[in-house]
Amino acid sequence: MRILVCFKAAPDVEMLIDEDWAVDKKLKIDTSFVKNTLNTYDESALEIALNLRDASEALGTNVELSTLTVDGGGATAILKTLYALRFTKAVRIEPQEDLRFRPAATAAIICQYVLHHSPQDAVLLGRQSDIGENAKTSLLVAEMLGWQCISQATHIELADENHLMVTHQVDDGHIRQRIRTPCVFSVGDAPCTSLRVPTLRDRMQYGKKAVDVLSVEDFLLPVETETLTGLEILRHARAGVIIEGKNPAEKARVLYEEHLKPMLSQK
């Protein structure tokens, strides 16, 4: 089974302080000084794929993992890590333009990669990226490919060479079902799926392979039907009054007597 995992490395915006949040004339926010990371959705998608490969080894079937990102170079370290985790192929597609809020363009690239460059049986993506928060790319990939889509996937197991057992979250529960490939999986809140760390030995042996780089010019991008016209920084400041006290007991007393008790005693 050929599985492609697509991810988006994004700056860890939680590292920005209030003064860093500023929007320029091109509707961009300077995050160049912040380290790029994987968000938990993408991390889960990658780890779920690795678990599928582990299971395939035990079952004697073959799972081949590859990974793709549309990125200007900030994901190179992550791609090398994925090689060290023995992904067979790591591909970076160099964008020429701002794709933060263009999920249809990103989906078209992934779709055309699968159709024209590297056929796959399953495509896994995190449900949304940290910057655009569009929550659309995986759904659009499925629509463009004409494949079944399972959204909010939290657990995937190998059933046989053509089927996967998937558990996915719906609004008031979970559904567990057997799915025939090809299929797109949009990975949601999947507990216990932090991406594993490769051994130093695997980093040395596998992690130095060159990443395949393709130009976005090799792909046809659709016209987006939604256009970004503004960005406004949200501030959530409250009073932040610090309760003073010699010890935790005194602080708890002040908190209880001055705040909790009066509020909770109001009917």
Binding to another protein in span 141-180, by CB under 8 A: 142-144, 148-149, 151-152, 165, 167, 169-180
Closer Cβ to another protein, 22 or 200, answer by number: 22
Closest CA relative to residue 165, chosen from 46, 48, 66, 4? 48
Instruction: Tell me the closest approach of the beta carbon of residue 216 to another protein, in angstroms.
Output: 21
Q: How many residues bind another protein (CB under 8 A)?
A: 79
Q: Which DSSP string corresponds to 164-189? A: EEEEEEETTEEEEEEEESSEEEEE--
Cα 252 versus chain centre, distance = 40
Closer Cβ to another protein, 201 or 259, answer by number: 259
Judged by CB under 8 A, the stretch of 67-75, 80-88, 210-218, 231-239 that binds another protein is: 231-239
- Rounded to 5 degrees, what angle do the CA atoms 135, 164, 63 make? 95
Q: Is the dihedral of CA 87, 214, 124, 115 positive or negative?
A: negative
Residue 79, SS3 per DSSP: helix
Closer Cβ to another protein, 42 or 90, answer by number: 42
- Our finding on whether 228 is near another protein (CB under 8 A) is yes
Which listed residue (74, 188, 198, 207) binds another protein by CB under 8 A?
188
Closer Cβ to another protein, 60 or 173, answer by number: 173
Residue 165 and residue 256: Cα distance in Å, rounded?
Answer: 50
x-or-dash string of contact with another protein, 115-144, rule CB under 8 A: ---------------xxxxxxx--xx-xxx
Which listed residue (32, 191, 210, 246) binds another protein by CB under 8 A?
191
x-or-dash string of contact with another protein, 72-111, rule CB under 8 A: ----------------------------xx----------
Residue 11 and residue 131: Cα distance in Å, rounded?
Answer: 8
Residue 168 and residue 64: Cα distance in Å, rounded?
Answer: 23
